């Protein structure tokens, strides 16, 4: 995959992980134009967590580490809005930011090392069937997601997505380079339910 040096940013109140699904409803003109451009060029956009501000309207302040997303499907929603489904691909770090004339946030980025599949350690073996069952029960957008239940990278990403913890913890997980360290960071948060 040829990675661009500058990408459009989509500030959101959620954290996207590589391999994770992202359903969105698009209504702002700048983002409709972005989707059109992505569909035409086969390009993607960067998803970054909001630090301050809102998803729509006013300029937002975001965290520096985010995930590049690519659109895999789109549809018109019953309310007339554009619905898209994107998938997280690769993490990046924002180096510089600027705003286009239409208000779209753009960033020069450095691409973080791509995480290679890593065997799930025995200490976390119970997570694989638990996450499989939770994602099956959750339905869309997880129904069509390829399952890699023996991969610590995949398991740690899905666990961080589905745990009901503050987004700053999810962001911290995204910024960690080691999937086992990510699982160990999350352990106190999911073991609470077992006690």
Instruction: Residue 96: give the domain boundaries.
Output: 6-111
Domains held by the chain: number: 2
Closest CA to 109 of 1, 2, 5: 5
pLDDT at 179: 96
Supply the CATH number for residue 97's domain: 2.30.130.40
Same domain, yes or no, for 20 and 78? yes
Dist. CA 120–CA 130, nearest whole Å: 14
- Residue 10 domain-assigned? yes
Dist. CA 117–CA 113, nearest whole Å: 13
Same domain, yes or no, for 91 and 158? no
Same domain, yes or no, for 97 and 133? no
Phi, psi of 156 (to 5 degrees): -65, -35
Work out the number of other CB atoms within 10 angstroms of the CB of residue 107.
21
- Residue 78 domain-assigned? yes
Q: Under DSSP, is residue 92 helix (H, G, I), strand (E, B) or coil?
A: strand
Element (H, E) at 167: helix 167-175
Same domain, yes or no, for 107 and 154? no
Q: Which residues contact 186 (CB under 8 A, 6 or more apart)?
A: 156, 159, 160, 163, 165, 169, 173
Q: Which residues contact 171 (CB under 8 A, 6 or more apart)?
A: 15, 49, 63, 65
Dist. CA 20–CA 67, nearest whole Å: 10
Phi, psi of 180 (to 5 degrees): -70, -40
User: What value does the mean pLDDT of the chain take?
Assistant: 89
pLDDT at 194: 39
pLDDT at 195: 37
pLDDT at 140: 86
Tens-digit pLDDT string for the chain (195 aa): 567 789 999 999 999 999 999 999 888 878 888 888 888 998 999 999 998 766 555 667 899 999 999 999 888 877 877 888 999 999 999 999 998 888 788 999 999 999 999 999 999 999 999 999 999 998 888 888 889 999 999 999 999 999 999 999 999 999 999 999 999 999 988 775 433
């Amino acid at each position: 995959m040829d990675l661009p040096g500058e990408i459009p940013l989509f500030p959101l109140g959620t954290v996207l992980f590589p391999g994770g699904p992202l359903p969105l409803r698009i209504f702002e003109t700048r983002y409709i134009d972005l989707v059109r451009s992505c569909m035409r060029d086969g390009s993607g956009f960067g998803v970054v967590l909001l630090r301050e501000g809102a998803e729509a309207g006013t300029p937002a302040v975001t965290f520096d580490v985010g995930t590049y997303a690519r659109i895999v499907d789109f549809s018109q929603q019953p309310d007339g809005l554009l619905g898209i489904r994107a998938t997280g691909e690769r993490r990046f770090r924002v180096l510089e930011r600027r705003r286009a004339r239409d208000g779209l946030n753009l960033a020069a980025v450095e691409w973080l090392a791509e995480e290679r599949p890593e065997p799930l350690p025995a200490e976390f073996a119970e997570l694989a069937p638990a996450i499989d069952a939770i994602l099956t029960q959750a339905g869309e957008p997880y129904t069509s997601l390829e399952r890699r239940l023996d991969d610590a990278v995949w398991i740690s990403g899905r666990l961080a997505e589905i745990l009901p913890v503050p987004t700053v913890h999810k962001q911290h997980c995204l910024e960690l380079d080691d999937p086992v360290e990510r699982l160990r960071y999350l352990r106190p948060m999911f073991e609470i339910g077992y006690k």
